[in-house]
Amino acid sequence: MTSDVLLAAGAIMKSLVMSLFDAIYAAGALDQDADRTILSTDEVYDKVAGTKRVDPRGFIQGTKA
């Protein structure tokens, strides 16, 4: 984790009202993941501009949610 990720997480927390963990996870995806995909059931990530959330329950059911 870099200082850039932490600064981005702070900005995300301030603008979207989410937990520190969620903001760091989102900022990490924006910084480190080429396709900026977040694997989570938590719909809070749908609010993060520039990311795409994939619900893992879709894999269990055989389709992406």
- What tens digit of pLDDT does each residue of 21-37 get? 999 999 999 998 789 99
Q: How far apart are CA 37 and CA 54, in angstroms?
A: 7
Q: Which residue bears the tokens 């269990």?
A: 60
Hey, where are the domains in the chain?
3-60
Q: How far apart are CA 57 and CA 65, in angstroms?
A: 7
Confidence grade of residue 54 (pLDDT, cut at 50, 70, 90): very high
